[in-house]
């Protein structure tokens, strides 16, 4: 079912006109996945769902806001992220990108919420005039090491973005 929805969004987005990285374009990202955290010396497995919206303030540079919910284990958590990305205009189809973000993670009681920030880099692959796939790596630093038991982590990133 999810593949049919993604295929319909790609087909819809591919019929519009302007270039995806142009000033004034908006991008919609859909987040679906899984993750795990160690909580109280026990590994918790989560389902992750969310969405993000980005706006190209100048050609090749976007700012945005995103929301993710981690559910299916305890504690549940919600994340609000504010990212900035820059796509290097070196090639029409493949564009290296780098970015930075700040994130607020809201945890279910009795755990305390925490802030984090990070950097990311990767390559954006243009699939059509209004669709790209981003593949990269993220380095995240936590403002508090109490909940995670570590102060930073690195993880892969796979993002499909549809511009309108």
Domain edges within the chain: 2-163
Pairing of strands 152-163, 131-142: antiparallel
Classified as helix, coil or strand, 136 is: strand
Checking if the pLDDT of 56 tops 90, the result is: yes
The answer to whether the pTM exceeds 0.85 is no
Choice among 2-6, 41-45, 72-76, 117-121 with the minimum mean pLDDT: 2-6
Confidence band, pLDDT 50/70/90 cuts, at residue 148: low
- Per residue in 67-99, pLDDT (tens digit) is 999 999 988 899 999 999 999 999 989 999 999
Q: What is the mean pLDDT of residues 58-66?
A: 96
The sign one gets for the Cα dihedral 29, 34, 36, 37 is positive
6 phi and psi angles, rounded to 5 deg = -65, -40
Q: What is the pLDDT of residue 24?
A: 93
Does the 2-163 domain belong in CATH 2.40.160.20? yes
In this predicted structure, the answer to whether residue 102 has a pLDDT above a threshold of 80 is yes
pLDDT > 50? residue 13: no
Residue 64 tokens, joined: 């945005």
**pLDDT class of 35 with cuts at 50, 70, 90:** confident
Verify cis geometry, omega within 30 degrees of 0, for the bond prior to 20: no
Q: Which two tokens stand for residue 159?
A: 């993002």
CA-CA distance, 85 to 87, in Å (whole number)? 7
H/E stretch holding 13: helix 2-14
User: Is the model's pLDDT at 150 over the cut of 90?
Assistant: no
Separation between Cα atoms, residue 17 and residue 63, nearest integer Å: 22
Whether residue 15 is predicted with pLDDT greater than 60 in this model: the reply is no
């Amino acid at each position: 079912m999810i593949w049919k929805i993604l295929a319909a969004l790609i087909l819809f987005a591919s019929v519009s006109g302007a270039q995806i990285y142009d000033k004034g374009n908006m991008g919609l990202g859909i987040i679906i996945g899984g993750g795990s955290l160690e909580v109280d010396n026990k590994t918790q497995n989560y389902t992750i769902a969310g969405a993000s919206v980005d706006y190209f303030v100048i050609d090749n540079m976007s700012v945005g806001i995103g929301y993710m919910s981690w559910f299916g284990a305890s504690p549940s958590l919600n994340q609000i992220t504010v990212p900035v990305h820059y796509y290097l205009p070196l090639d029409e189809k493949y564009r290296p990108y780098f970015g930075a973000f700040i994130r607020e993670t809201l945890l279910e009681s009795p755990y305390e919420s925490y802030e984090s920030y990070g950097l990311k880099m990767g390559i954006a692959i243009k699939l059509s005039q209004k669709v790209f796939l981003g593949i990269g790596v993220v380095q995240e630093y936590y403002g508090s090491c109490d909940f995670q038991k570590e102060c930073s982590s690195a993880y892969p990133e796979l993002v499909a973005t549809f511009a309108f």
